[in-house]
Structure 1
Amino acid sequence: MIELLEGRFFKTFIAVMEEKSFSRAADKLGYVQSTVTTHIQFLEQACKQKLFHRLSRGVKPTDAGEKLVKFAYQFVHLGASIEEAMNEIEQPRGTVYLRMQESFFLTRISSIMKHFVAEYPEVKLRVESGFHQDILNQVLEHAIDFGIVPRDPQRNDILFYPLVEEKLIFIASNALMKEVETEGLNRLSREVMISFGTICLYHTHASKVLQEAGIYVKDALELPSLEMIKESVTCGIGFALVPEIGVKKELDEGHFKVLPISPDSYSMHGLIIHKNRELSYPAKLFKSELIKRLTPPM
C-alpha cells in the first residue's frame, strides 16, 4: 500500500475534508476539479475503501474517510517536518499550526507572536480561533501542532503544559450595577447573560456559578467575539463572564462594573499537544517561547 501513496494525494484529501467539496478543494489547491477527483480515486484504490459520499451539495466523508483523516494530517506533517529538519542548518523555517480562544489571543498572544516572527522571519504562524472541545479535537486529529485551552482535558493521550491562570469576572453596565445594588443579585434573573455560547467553558462555568448563587437566567445571547460582548454589556443589553485581563481598560475607564458574585473564579490556560506528535523544529521553538513568556517564575 505504501508504494501507492503520495503526499499530494493526502493534501488533496485534507482539502476536500476541510472544504466539503471537490470544486472548492480544487480552487484552494489551484487544481482543476478533475485532478482532485483523480487524486481521491488513487487514494481510494490504495486504501481499498470509498472515502466520500457524493451529495447533492458537496461531499461527506465515509467511515473510512473519517478514520483516514488523522493519518493524512500525520503524513503531511511528516513531510513538512523532514523538509524543516533539513533547513535547520541555515535558519528555522516552516509553518506552526495552533488554535486558541480569540480572547486569549487578544490579551496574551499577539505581542508574543510579534516578537517571535521578528526573531524567526522564515517561520510562519497559522493561528485559528476556537473553543475548548474543537481545539481538543483538532489536536487529537493531528490537524494542528498544538492548542491553548482554558483547562486541562485530563486525557492520557494529551500532554498539558500550564501557562497562565486567568481570573474570570462578571461585568455589567453602570446602570444595571445600580439596580443590582438596590434590588440585590436576583435582579440579574431578569437580564440576558451574554457569552460565546454553550460550546465555551466560560458559558458553562457562568451558568454553574449563577445557579449556586440562586440566580436563574432565562435568556442567553451568543456572540462570536470578546469585542462584541464588551460592546453589548456597555450598551446595557445584559451581563457577561469574561477574563479580567480582557476588560481591564474598560473597567479603568468606567465603561462597566464588576458584579459582586462570589467566590472568585479562575481558569488555568495551558498548551495541549498530542502525546504522539513529533513537533517540528519551528513548533518546538514557539512552544518554548510561549512557556518562557507566559509561565510565571517559580
Structure 2
Amino acid sequence: MDISDLKVLESVSRLGSMNRAAQELHTVQSNVTARIRSLEEELGVELFLRHARGVSTTAAAQRLLPFAGRIMSLLAEAQAAARDDGTPSGSLVLGGLETTTALRLSPILSHFAKTYPAVRLVIATGTTHKLLDDVLGYRLEGAFVAGPVDHPDLHRETVFREELVLVTPPAIRTPDDLAHVPDLKTIVFQIGCSYRQRLESLLAERGIVTARPLEFGSLDTIVSCVAAGVGVTLLPKGVVAKARREGRIAIHELPSKQAQVDTLFVRRADAYVSSAMSAFLDIARSDPGKFAASG
C-alpha cells in the first residue's frame, strides 16, 4: 500500500464512482478498478460494495479512510514545510459559512490576494457541520464557522462576533405576530447550519409552531424567499442590511444571549501552519471592523 493507492481510495470513496474517480485522477476506469482490487487483496478485506449507481464504502474502508487522510495530509504538509521559506506562496484551501464569506471575508480575500499574489487561495462554503467535517478530514486547512466549537483535535480562535436578527416579511411588525401566521415556514440552509438550530430554538421558546423548513443553499435565495412572504429566517444583521434599507424585509433585534454569536477560525491542532496561513490570519485578525461590511 502506497500513497497513490490511498489517493485512489479517497477519490472513489468521496465520489462514489470508479469512473468519476478515474476522471478526477486523469486515468482510465480500469486502472482505478485494478488498484482498488489490488488494495483489497493486500488488506484481505472488501473496501467497496458495487451496485448499479456506483460504489459505497464498507465498514473496513470507513475505518481506513481517516488514516489515508492523515497520511496524505502529512505528506502534503512535509512538502509545504520544506518549500516554505517564510514568504507566503503555494496553495491555501480554506472554508467559510456563506454568511461569513459574504459579510466578512470578501474584502479580506481581496486584500490578501493583492498583498500575496503568489498564494493560490481557494475558499469553499458550507454549513458549520460540513466545514468542521472537512477540516477534521484534512480536506480543508482551516475554516470560519459559528461557535461554540469544542473538539479535542481542533485549534480554535474567535475572529468575528456577529449580531443575529430575526428576518421576516415587512408585514410582520413584531416577533409575536408570527404566532398568528398559519403554516409558518422557516427558510434555512441545510441541516448542519448553526443559525438554523438557533432559529428553531428561538421560535420554540416563544411557542411558535412552524411547518417543515424550506432548505436552500444560497443566501440570496433565502433573503428573496423571506422578502416574498414565504417564511422567516435568522441571519447576521450586516448580511441583510441592504435588503432592509430597500424595504424588502423587516428585521427584529433579539436579546443579547440569543443574538450574539462568535465566528471562529478552526484548524487541526496537529497541522502545520504555513506562512500563507499565518499571513491570512494576520489580515483577518488585524482589524475586523476595517474589513466588515457596514450594517
Bin of the TM-score, shorter chain as denominator length: 0.7 to 0.9
- Report the CA distance between 1:259 and its aligned residue: 3.1
Whether the aligned pair in 2 keeps the contact of 1:189 and 1:215 (CA below 8 Å) is no
Kept after mapping to 2: 8 A contact 1:177/1:259: no
Aligned residue number for residue 259 of structure 1: 252
Structure 1's 295 and 158: CA in aligned 2 closer, same or farther, altered over 3 A?
farther
Partners of 2:42 and 2:117 lie apart in 1 by 39
Of residues 172, 181, 203, the one that matches 1:177 is 172
C-alpha contact 2:135 2:141 (8 A) present in aligned 1: yes
Residue 96 of structure 1: how far off its partner (Å): 1.9
List alignment gaps of at least 5 residues for structure 2.
291-295
Distance 1:45 1:287 in 2: 45
- Report the Cα offset of residue 161 of structure 1: 0.8
Contact 1:162–1:295 (Cα < 8 Å) also in 2:
no
For residues 15 and 166 of structure 1, do their structure 2 counterparts lie closer, same or farther at Cα, with a shift above 3 Å needed?
same
CA distance, structure 2, for counterparts of residue 12 and residue 22 of structure 1? 9
**CA displacement at 1:53 relative to structure 2:** 1.9
Deviating more after overlay: 282-291 vs 199-208: 282-291
What is the TM-score normalised by the length of structure 1?
0.86
* Structure 1 residues 76 and 282: CA distance shift in structure 2, 3 A: farther
Q: Could you tell me how far apart the structure 2 residues matched to 1:267 and 1:193 are?
A: 20
Name the CA shift for 1:285/1:14 in 2 (closer, same or farther; >3 Å): farther
Q: Counterpart of 2:262 in 1: which secondary structure? A: strand
Aligned to 1:233: 226
CA distance in structure 2 between the partners assigned to 1:290 and 1:266 by the alignment = 19
What do residues 221-241 of structure 1 show as CA deviations (whole Å, max 9, x unaligned)? 222111001111111212211
Q: Which amino acid aligns with 1:25?
A: A
Deviations 1:20-70 (Å, cap 9, x if unpaired)? Answer: 111001111110112212332443355443322222221111222112222
Question: Considering only aligned residues, what root-mean-square deviation do their CA atoms show, in Å?
Answer: 2.5
Question: Structure 2 CA distance, aligned partners of 1:155 and 1:78?
Answer: 20
Task: Decide whether the 8 Å contact of 2:86 with 2:275 is kept in 1.
Answer: no
CA contact (8 A) 1:52 1:60 kept: yes
TM-superposed CA distance for 1:285, in Å, is 3.2
Q: 2:280 aligns with which of 278, 282, 286?
A: 286
- Write the distance in 2 (CA, Å) between the matches of 1:140 and 1:71: 12
TM norm structure 2? 0.87
Q: Which residue of 1 aligns with 2:121?
A: 125
Evaluate the alpha carbon distance shift between residue 79 and residue 93 of structure 1 in structure 2; reply closer, same or farther with a 3 A threshold.
Answer: farther
Unaligned runs of 5+ in 1: none
User: Using the alignment, how far apart are the partners of 2:238 and 2:5 within structure 1?
Assistant: 45
Which residue pairs with 1:243 in the alignment?
A: 236
How many pairs does the alignment contain? 289
What whole-Å deviation, never above 9, does each CA across 1:128-157 have from its counterpart, x for those lacking one? 221122222222222221122111221222
- C-alpha displacement of 1:214: 2.7
Partner of 1:70: 66
Q: What corresponds to 1:86 in structure 2?
A: 82
Pick which of 38-47 and 124-133 moved more.
38-47
Q: Is residue 145–residue 263 contact of structure 2 (8 Å, CA) maintained in 1?
A: yes
| Distance apart, 1:217 and its partner CA | 2.1
What's the CA shift string for 1:250-279, capped at 9, x where partnerless?
112222211365465121110112222223
Q: Quick check: 151-160 or 36-45, which moved more? A: 36-45
Could you list the per-position Cα deviations for residues 80-103 of structure 1 after superposition, in whole angstroms to 9, with x for gaps in the alignment? 223323333385332222222211
Aligned residues of 2:184 and 2:209 also touching (Cα < 8 A): no
Q: Distance in 1 between matches of 2:281 and 2:86?
A: 20
Look up the SS of the partner of 1:89 in the other structure. Answer: coil
1:18 and 2:11 equivalent?
no
Residue identity in the other structure for 2:204? Q
Q: What's 2:140 paired with?
A: 144
The residue number in structure 2 matching 1:161 is 157
Distance (whole Å) between structure 2 residues aligned to residue 270 and residue 76 of structure 1: 26
Instruction: Confirm or deny: 8 A CA contact 1:80 1:94 kept in the other structure.
Output: no
Instruction: For residues 197-243 of structure 1, give each alpha carbon's deviation from its aligned partner in whole angstroms, at most 9, with x where no partner exists.
Output: 44321111111111222322234322211100111111121221111
Q: What secondary structure does 2:235 align onto? A: strand
